[in-house]
Chain A
Amino acid sequence: MATVLLIDDEARVGAALRFALSPHGVDVVQETSAAAGIERARTSAPDCILLDVDLAGDDGLVACRALKADDRTARIPVIMLTGMVDATSTARGFEAGADDYVPKPFTPRELHARIQAHLRRAGAA
């Protein structure tokens, strides 16, 4: 079973991810702060990370840079969660090293397809 680490301070985002991904055999674990998320990524090596770009100010971007700068987590795909029309946040996410982004709101099929694509590339699917 693939594991996705969600780093987002809103519990409702975790509920949405579990609703969309659990039927496909994807386990979702959530951390609500950048520091806790980075630590979990280092110790548990999830197959994919979904990271809120607006996590407590710029912490989402800081976390992305930290994940990509660490040998233990650099190869884990990082998908940024952004607002639908937030082109600035999307660009900043890519500049910070993100592999992809998913705009909020998202449909279950879109989310699953994007995650599966990254898991395939990483050899985890």
Chain B
Amino acid sequence: MTPLTTPVGQADTLLHLVPPVVSPRADVRALVRTVASDPLARCAFVAGDDGRLLGVVPVDEIDRDLLMLLAPGVAAQELVTARQAARLAHGLDETAQRLMRTAACVGLDDTLAVAVQRMAERRQESAAVVDASGALLGYVALFELLADALVAPQAIAPAS
């Protein structure tokens, strides 16, 4: 069990290195392949050619869209928001750059509690971990942190 007061860089069983990454130019096909390569992350991180983190495309940002594209009969039963409809304008050629949001993000010296806080603020299930230069190094996953913390709930500390 790793206390939530542990710095992310020292959480050597919870920090996942070499996360799923796409370029900003990646289309929906590439996004789906990338998300499928790492089901735990529940997202594809978007990074520039220099490795710096630009944003994130959470899985829920593309699954409904794909449903509507690939199984419109099923998707018709779903509530389609204006934002989803707008995203569909480009179909499978939609790019990561247009789909991405600001990523929940922490540095190696931030604690796991701060990571949980950032994920909660952004309503995301994983937080990008960047090094001192801003390059994407890895991620921590919300439910993995929670499951680990619940082994000893008294160890849960407020974010600092």
A16: interface (CB < 8 Å): yes
Least distance between A77 CB and chain B CB atoms (Å): 20
B13 A105 Cβ-Cβ under 8 A: no
CA distance A107 to B148 in the complex (A): 15
Q: Would you call A15 and B137 a contact (CB within 8 A)?
A: yes
- The bracket for how many chain A residues form the interface is 20 to 34
B18 to A107, Cβ gap below 8 A? Answer: no
- Residue pair A84, B39 in contact (C-beta under 8 Å): yes
Q: Chain A residues with Cβ under 8 A from B137's Cβ?
A: 12, 15-16, 19
**Residues in B whose Cβ lies below 8 Å from that of A16:** 17-18, 137-138
Within 8 A of A (CB), among B11-28: 12-21
B-chain residues with CB within 8 Å of residue A84 when the two chains form the complex: 37-40
**Contact of A109 with B by CB under 8 A:** yes
Tell whether, in the assembled complex, residue B39 and residue A20 are in contact, meaning their CB atoms are under 8 Å apart.
no
Which chain A positions have C-beta within 8 A of B18? 12-13, 16, 81, 104-106
- Contact B37–A106 (Cβ < 8 Å): no
Contact with B along A71-99 (1 / 0, CB 8 A): 00000000001011110000000000000
B129-159 CB contacts (< 8 Å) to partner A: 131, 135-139
Contact B12 A105 (CB under 8 A): no
When A and B form their complex, what is the total count of cross-chain residue pairs whose Cβ atoms lie within 8 Å? 65
Q: Are A107's CB and B12's CB within 8 A?
A: yes
Q: Report the minimum CB–CB distance from A54 to chain B (whole Å).
A: 10
Known contacts A12-B136, A15-B131, A19-B137; is-contact A105 B39 (Cβ 8 Å) = no
Q: What residues of A have a CB within 8 angstroms of the CB of B37 in the complex?
A: 83-86, 104
5 A-B pairs whose Cβ atoms sit less than 8 Å apart in the complex: A15-B135, A84-B38, A86-B37, A105-B41, A109-B13
**Closest 7 pairs (CB-CB, A-B):** A105-B16, A16-B17, A108-B12, A109-B12, A83-B37, A104-B18, A105-B18
Q: A12-B135, A20-B17 are in contact. List 16 more A-B contacts (CB 8 A).
A: A16-B17, A16-B18, A17-B17, A19-B9, A19-B17, A84-B37, A84-B38, A84-B39, A104-B37, A104-B38, A105-B16, A105-B17, A105-B138, A106-B16, A109-B13, A110-B13
